[in-house]
Structure 1
Amino acid sequence: MNIIHLVRDHWPLTLCPIGFLVGWYFDKKHDEKLAIFRNKSKLYQRELRPGEDSIWK
């Protein structure tokens, strides 16, 4: 069986896992971007307890 034939016949089954992985990747990138602003918001601004690195994770 040819790989091209296999992909052509079963392409809908590959879209779901690929969509999940792409969504997971963009979610991780968005979380990294938001982590830059940790502890800088006026809403959550307070003194950190000893041993506490951030207010939210």
Structure 2
Amino acid sequence: MVLGLTKQYAWLALPMLGFTIGWYLDNKETQRMTMFRDKSALYGRALKEGEAPSW
């Protein structure tokens, strides 16, 4: 026991920490992928003047 924390607290905190890190990385990847919405490199065409994005 260190600073009043037991093994039970560690077994509770590890999955929560893993979930938090995964959620953060998933959000960062989603933000990164928004740069590619309706870009010719991803979809193979450029938007026409006045055309609305598909998303």
Q: Fold match, TM over 0.5?
A: yes
Q: Which has the higher contact order (CA 8 A, sep 6+)?
A: 1
Q: Aligning the two structures, in what range does the TM-score lie when normalised by the shorter sequence? A: 0.5 to 0.7
Provide the TM-score with structure 2 as the length reference.
0.65
- Asked if 1:9 corresponds to 2:29, the answer is no
- Asked if 1:42 corresponds to 2:40, the answer is no
Following the alignment from structure 1 to structure 2, what is the Cα–Cα distance between the partners of residues 44 and 15? 45
Provide the TM-score with structure 1 as the length reference.
0.63
Structure with the higher helix share, 1 or 2: 2
Unaligned residue ranges in structure 2 (runs of 5+)? none
Unaligned residue ranges in structure 1 (runs of 5+)? none
- The verdict on how the C-alpha distance between 1:45 and 1:55 changes in structure 2, with shifts beyond 3 A counting, is farther
CA RMSD of aligned residues (A): 2.5
- Output aligned runs, 1:11-30, within 5 Å: 11-30=10-29
**Number of corresponding residues:** 50
Following the alignment from structure 2 to structure 1, what is the Cα–Cα distance between the partners of residues 11 and 47? 50
